[in-house]
């Protein structure tokens, strides 16, 4: 049931082709790849991969995260809409706790005590504190991105398998009763 509910709300490749004006067949590699129906079909592998890609990219501090997630999902041939939606893991409400987690993980991995210096309200002071915290944040962010992507993939795969086994048991019990 969650699969049907989700498929009814996510766009398919025909809608995306129509919205982006991609009806012509020869539009380039990325447009041809994005119009591949396999990237829009929901199965266990593509859903888990799309969630993993989206969670990983949500930790990477780049502009246009949704575009990057869609591109990487197309290259890896996983579910594009789920990868784009999972990028929303990073939002104005979660960014401060996520940066704190990245800073804590980075300082633990690099065995550097987290800086207690306050950020100055001047441009040179800001860049100075950023260069000091940069390696810690980058290391922690990559670690957290990898771990969240891995856990997202594993949890999605396990829940999907559990739901499939449950449907199978129900189907078998109905055939035994009849």
Band of residue 1 on the pLDDT scale cut at 50, 70, 90 = very low
- Domain around 147: 2-177
Maximum Cα interatomic distance, the chain, rounded to a whole number of Å: 77
pTM of the model: 0.75
Given a contact cutoff of 8 angstroms between Cβ atoms, the answer to whether 156 and 48 are in contact is yes
Residue pLDDT, tens place only, 132-159: 778 888 999 999 999 999 999 999 999 9
Residue pLDDT, tens place only, 41-79: 788 999 999 999 999 999 988 889 999 999 999 889 899
Number of domains into which the chain is organized = 1
């Amino acid at each position: 049931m969650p699969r049907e509910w989700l498929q009814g709300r996510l766009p398919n490749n025909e809608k995306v082709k129509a919205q982006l004006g991609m009806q012509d067949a020869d539009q380039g590699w990325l447009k041809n790849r994005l119009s591949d129906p396999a990237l829009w079909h929901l199965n266990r592998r593509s859903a888990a991969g799309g969630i993993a890609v989206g969670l990983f990219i949500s930790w990477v501090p780049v502009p246009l995260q949704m575009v990057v997630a869609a591109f990487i999902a197309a290259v890896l041939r996983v579910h594009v809409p789920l990868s784009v939606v999972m990028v929303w893991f990073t939002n104005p409400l979660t960014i401060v706790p996520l940066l704190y987690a990245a800073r804590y993980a980075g300082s633990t991995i690099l065995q550097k005590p987290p800086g207690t210096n306050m950020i100055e309200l001047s441009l040179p002071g800001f860049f100075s504190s950023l260069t000091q915290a940069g390696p810690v944040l980058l290391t922690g962010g990559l670690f957290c991105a990898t771990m969240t992507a891995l856990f997202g993939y594993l949890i999605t795969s396990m829940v999907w398998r559990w739901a499939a086994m449950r449907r199978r048991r129900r189907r078998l019990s109905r055939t035994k009763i009849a």
